[in-house]
Amino acid sequence: MAKKIKDPNKIRLGEKLCYMLTQMGCTPVLNLITSFLTLYYITICGMDAAAVGTLFLVSKLFDGINDPITGFIMDHLPKSKMGKFRHLMIIGTIICSLNMLVVWFGPYLATTGKLVIAYVSYLLLGVTYDIMDIAKNSVGAVMTNDPGDRASLNVFGSFGALLSTMLVSIAGPLIITALGNGFPAYRALILVAFVYAIVLMVGGSLGVKERVTAVDETQDKYSFKDYFKILSARPCFVMILFAIMYAVGQYISIGFDTYYFNFVLGDLSVMSTVSILTLVTMLAGTVLSKTLSVKIGRKQTIILSIVFMVIGLAIRYLFAYELWAAFVGSMIFRFGIGMELPAQGVINAENMDYIEYKMGVRAESALTSVSTFLSKVGAAIGGAMPAYLLAIAGYDAESGIIPESLPGAICGWGFLLPIALFVIGAVVIGVGYKMNYAEVRAGLDQRKAEIEAGQQV
């Protein structure tokens, strides 16, 4: 009996699991900042709430310049023996994780200049995080161009990212409350995240392979002027508009959750219990996403996921002071998040192929740098808004007295604003996104065959 020959281009389970680890490893960096950094700076480091909110927003002006430049540079770097992105994932993870320690510990340990240290370290994080995140978000597109493998890979990646997000939501409040809500508690949490990020990102990076290269590798790299043509291509531009609405809405919701459980329900530890239960529904949404993407299409899957997210937030707003609503609404909301992420990942990978089909260049980092920037914008707004809200409401961390207007304001800003952003995003992608990927794939395959035939002559 003939021995079955393994296809070297087929992605095996072990490699998918390694890819999942890379998606898990970087998640705590941004999620801890969104969920806890403003509260930590205000209540533990004693910094002014309005100044902290301004820090988050000012940093995004810097990122608006830095992120496209970083993406452009990464697309033009020569390949290493590890490929185009894997070595950058490892280097970026190490320096970003060290940078994260300074962001959290620097202002607390300093006797003077706390705000200056916070500004410098947080702005620098915008650069170091880019190297790790852009490479991590780009590598999936060069692991395979098979639609089935891409869909499966994005399910694994989304599963990892969402699982890691939930671990932060579960472990964060538990560690902080168990260790007394002071600096030792935050120190333990950040050190665990530091080790977690390095082990998972480096280990995962070593276990994946880069298989997809440009159809015509003799083609010159794109210019910085071409960068804007890439971003303005209709499928890419529509997804950028959608991602703005989605990222800001999601991070506002995440950012306000800590304050909601702390100031509205009055028990931060409940957040961990809710997160454990929502993990199940979120993972169910992730698994279902692949099936729905095949049956109804990726765009329609994203729109349906937003319907669930809006329903979940609406329940939490209408019954904001009811514990059952926090559980039920969060479970429905997280189900929608789980459903959306894999579908968006496949669309982003297909957009990269579309750019090669139309312009003849691979521009993974160019497109993923926009995603990284939007994630940081969302995280900044999600972190800044609660800080501003505390300042406006007159909250005094020393007295611990909660102003009467604060709980209602948290519910309004934390639930209604994301609902509006999600609805706008659904309309944008529903009306604006159009692409025939079968045509794109066939065109690239034909071009590659022609080039290979010409080389054989």
Segment 421-452, tens digit of pLDDT: 999 999 999 999 998 888 888 888 888 787 77
Give the residue among 308, 113, 337 at the shortest CA–CA distance from 246. Answer: 337
Contact call for residues 381 and 329 (beta carbons, < 8 A) = no
The pLDDT value recorded for residue 194 is: 92
pLDDT band at 167 (very low <50, low <70, confident <90, very high): confident
Contact call for residues 135 and 85 (beta carbons, < 8 A) = yes
Q: How far apart are CA 457 and CA 453, in angstroms?
A: 7
Q: How far apart are CA 50 and CA 40, in angstroms?
A: 14
Domain ranges (residues) in the chain: 14-209+218-449
Written as one string, the DSSP assignment of 37-96 is IHHHHHHTS---HHHHHHHHHHHHHHHHHHHHHHHHHHHHSPPBTTBSSHHHHHHHHHHH
Q: How far apart are CA 42 and CA 35, in angstroms?
A: 13
Task: Give the mean pLDDT of 218-230.
Answer: 74
pLDDT tens per residue, range 103-114 = 999 999 888 888
The pLDDT value recorded for residue 279 is: 81
pLDDT band at 455 (very low <50, low <70, confident <90, very high): low
> Identity (one letter) of the amino acid at 250?
Q
Q: What is the pTM of this model?
A: 0.72
pLDDT band at 2 (very low <50, low <70, confident <90, very high): very low
Q: Which range among 59-73, 252-266, 399-413 shows the weakest confidence by mean pLDDT? A: 59-73
Who's near 307: CB < 8 A, 6+ residues apart?
336, 426
Tokens standing for residue 441: 């794939």
Task: Give the mean pLDDT of 152-169.
Answer: 81
Tokens standing for residue 264: 């509205």
The pLDDT value recorded for residue 432 is: 93
Q: How far apart are CA 20 and CA 205, in angstroms?
A: 10
Q: How far apart are CA 317 and CA 278, in angstroms?
A: 17
The pLDDT value recorded for residue 408 is: 85
pLDDT band at 398 (very low <50, low <70, confident <90, very high): low
Q: Is 4 exposed, middle or buried (0-12, 13-18, 19+ CB in 10 A)?
A: exposed
What CATH class does 14-209+218-449 carry? Answer: mainly alpha
Out of 61-75, 258-272, 416-430, the most confident range is 416-430
Who's near 164: CB < 8 A, 6+ residues apart?
23, 24, 25, 27, 28, 31
Tokens standing for residue 400: 């611990």
pLDDT tens per residue, range 190-204 = 999 999 999 999 999
Count CA within 13 A, CB hemisphere, residue 442.
4
Residue 1 has pLDDT above 60, yes or no: no
Task: Give the mean pLDDT of 293-317.
Answer: 93
The pLDDT value recorded for residue 456 is: 58
Give the residue among 196, 212, 158, 195 at the shortest CA–CA distance from 16. Answer: 158
Task: Give the mean pLDDT of 194-215.
Answer: 86
Q: For CA atoms 432, 297, 285, 22, give the dihedral sign.
A: negative
Written as one string, the DSSP assignment of 93-134 is HHHHHHHHHHHHHHHHH-SS-HHHHHHHHHHHHHHHHHHHHH
Q: How far is CA 341 from the centre of its chain?
A: 9
Q: How far apart are CA 446 and CA 452, in angstroms?
A: 10
**What is the overall mean pLDDT for the chain?**
83
> Hey, which residues does 83 pair with through a beta bridge?
80
Residue 116 has pLDDT above 60, yes or no: yes
Q: For CA atoms 114, 119, 124, 126, give the dihedral sign.
A: positive
| Residue with the larger pLDDT of the pair 39 and 296 | 296
Count CA within 13 A, CB hemisphere, residue 338.
24
Q: Which range among 13-17, 74-78, 314-318 shows the weakest confidence by mean pLDDT? A: 74-78
Task: Give the mean pLDDT of 212-237.
Answer: 76
pLDDT tens per residue, range 369-397 = 777 777 777 767 776 777 777 777 777 66
The pLDDT value recorded for residue 112 is: 85
Task: Give the mean pLDDT of 310-336.
Answer: 94
Written as one string, the DSSP assignment of 185-237 is HHHHHHHHHHHHHHHHHHHHHHT-------SSTTSPPPPHHHHHHHHHSHHHH
The pLDDT value recorded for residue 208 is: 87
Give the residue among 271, 274, 251, 247 at the shortest CA–CA distance from 261. Answer: 271
| Residue with the larger pLDDT of the pair 67 and 334 | 334
Instruction: Calculate Rg over the CA atoms of the chain.
Output: 22
